[in-house]
């Protein structure tokens, strides 16, 4: 099947993207690593010895960045229903984070350690129709929020990608009831025409 005009445009933009070229030069698996780099640097999210869980981690750009930033300290667990090539120092759990089996494997990987930071850069497969895509994106966001609620230590932080649209404002207001500080960020590596933003919730109540 021939590619659509929008697919060709996306490919041209992708390969001309300076962050894509930089990721290739720096050895990162995805340009998304630079979004996280800016978010982490601005709000000083990572500290030595932290326990971090990365939801929907494949292809692994965020987990890779976190592992490098923490050095030899801390614990990084990546979870995804997709396969992900190994990253040294990162425990990968292949499975759905909603499933009991995956959660059991997470608990085994963590031992008695509480989670300090939950990350989610997840997005559904986009159809291009807002009426379909936005509810799917918000559903994933709600699942990630509930996971963070169940696994974060008191005072922990949650960083999630959201798409502005129906349900966005209510979701952010709900985070404000659960955390002491909630801010929205649009990192430079986020494409300007994208309606994605990142909500950072700190200080789990």
- List residues bridging with 147 in a β-sheet: none
161 is a catalytic site residue: yes
- Annotated catalytic residue within 5, 22, 161, 204: 161
Helix axes of 61-70 and 32-43: crossing angle, nearest 10 degrees: 40
Binding-site positions for S-adenosyl-L-methionine read 60, 62, 80, 96, 121
Binding-site positions read 60, 62, 80, 96, 121
Catalytic site positions: 161
């Amino acid at each position: 099947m021939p590619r659509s005009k929008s697919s060709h445009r996306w490919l041209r933009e992708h390969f001309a993207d300076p962050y894509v070229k930089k990721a290739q030069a720096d050895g990162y698996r995805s340009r998304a690593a630079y979004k996280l780099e800016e978010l982490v640097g601005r709000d000083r999210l990572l500290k030595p010895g932290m326990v971090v869980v990365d939801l929907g981690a494949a292809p692994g750009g965020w987990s890779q960045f976190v592992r490098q930033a923490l050095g030899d300290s801390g614990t990084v667990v990546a979870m995804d229903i997709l396969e992900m090539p190994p990253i040294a120092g990162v425990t990968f759990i292949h499975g759905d984070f909603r499933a009991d089996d995956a959660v059991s494997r997470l608990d085994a990987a963590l031992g008695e350690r509480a989670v300090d930071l939950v990350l989610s850069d997840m997005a559904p497969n986009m159809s291009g129709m807002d009426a379909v895509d936005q509810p799917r994106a918000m559903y994933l966001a709600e699942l990630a929020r509930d996971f963070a609620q169940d696994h974060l230590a008191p005072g922990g932080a949650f960083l999630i990608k959201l798409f502005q649209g129906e349900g966005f404002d209510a979701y952010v207001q709900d985070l404000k009831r659960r955390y002491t500080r909630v801010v929205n960020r649009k990192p430079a590596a986020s494409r300007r025409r994208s309606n994605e933003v990142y909500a950072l919730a700190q200080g789990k109540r």
